[in-house]
């Protein structure tokens, strides 16, 4: 796989298996998924062959195209309790950095992510599937976030809840990155 990080290798394996299984279960070809997600067919082929190291943006585009939560692509099935140390939770990079902290299932699915937004970059997000909502708790820095037509400026400790099924964006304000805990609530798993 070409990485010296065992945790990242696990994520790459999980993404490969999950993308392939979800695409196949939906009767989609690589071309179908490429068209639906905006990712290149060659990129998808490399991802499924465990040769790709996809960005957060690519994973979100794939998750949205497949109608699943972000973590459904990155997580390995855990049939029994599993203790994961904070330093072992893999990071997925791109224009932002994210890591899935946990998932809570039981009807609807809630996914907890720790997300870091770099200074000077606007992260524009396409709508997630219908009914998805985001709950953002800013822990460090300052952040402008929310639906593009109703952006809010957040300070540490502020919470923003909004519908994630509309175009939205995030921008770190000031001279330091912003960090947040984001809960993604999916109406059905």
Q: Does this chain's domain 6-74 share its CATH topology with 95-186?
A: no
pLDDT band at 13 (very low <50, low <70, confident <90, very high): confident
pLDDT band at 78 (very low <50, low <70, confident <90, very high): very low
Residue 126 and residue 153: Cα distance in Å, rounded? 20
pLDDT band at 86 (very low <50, low <70, confident <90, very high): low
Whole-number pLDDT of residue 79: 43
Specify which residues 123 forms β-bridges with.
170
Interval 118-171: pLDDT, tens: 998 899 998 988 888 888 899 999 999 999 999 999 999 888 888 888 999 999
Q: Enumerate long-range contacts of 116-119, CB under 8 Å, 24 or more apart.
A: 116/177, 116/178, 116/179, 117/141, 117/143, 117/170, 117/171, 117/172, 117/177, 117/178, 117/179, 117/180, 118/172, 118/177, 119/172, 119/174, 119/175, 119/176, 119/177
Superfamily of domain 6-74: lambda repressor-like DNA-binding domains (1.10.260.40)
Parse the chain into domains and list their residue ranges: 6-74, 95-186
> In the chain, at which residue ranges do the beta strands (DSSP E only) sit?
97-104, 109-117, 122-125, 133-140, 142-147, 152-154, 159-163, 168-173, 178-186
Whole-number pLDDT of residue 38: 93
Stated pTM of the model: 0.57
Return the CATH class of domain 95-186: mainly beta
Q: State the average pLDDT over residues 162-183.
A: 93
- Strand (E) or helix (H) holding 64: helix 56-66
Interval 23-49: pLDDT, tens: 988 899 999 999 999 999 999 999 999
């Amino acid at each position: 796989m070409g990485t010296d990080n065992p945790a990242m290798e696990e994520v790459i394996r999980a993404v490969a298996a999950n993308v392939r299984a979800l695409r196949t279960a939906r009767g989609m070809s690589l071309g179908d998924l490429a068209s639906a997600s905006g990712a290149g067919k060659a990129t998808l082929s490399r991802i499924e062959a465990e040769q790709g190291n996809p960005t957060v943006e690519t994973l979100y585009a794939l998750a949205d195209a497949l109608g699943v939560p972000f973590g459904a692509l990155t997580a390995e099935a855990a049939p029994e309790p599993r203790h994961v140390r904070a330093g072992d939770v893999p990071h997925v990079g791109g224009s932002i950095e994210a890591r899935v902290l946990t998932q809570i299932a039981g009807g609807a699915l809630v996914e907890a992510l720790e997300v870091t937004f770099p200074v000077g970059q606007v992260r524009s997000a396409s709508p997630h599937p219908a009914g998805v909502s985001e709950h953002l708790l800013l822990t460090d820095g300052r952040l402008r976030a929310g639906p593009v037509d109703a952006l809010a400026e957040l300070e540490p400790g502020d919470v923003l809840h909004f519908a994630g099924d509309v175009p939205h964006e995030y921008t770190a304000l000031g001279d330091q990155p912003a960090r947040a805990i984001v809960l993604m609530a999916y109406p059905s798993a």
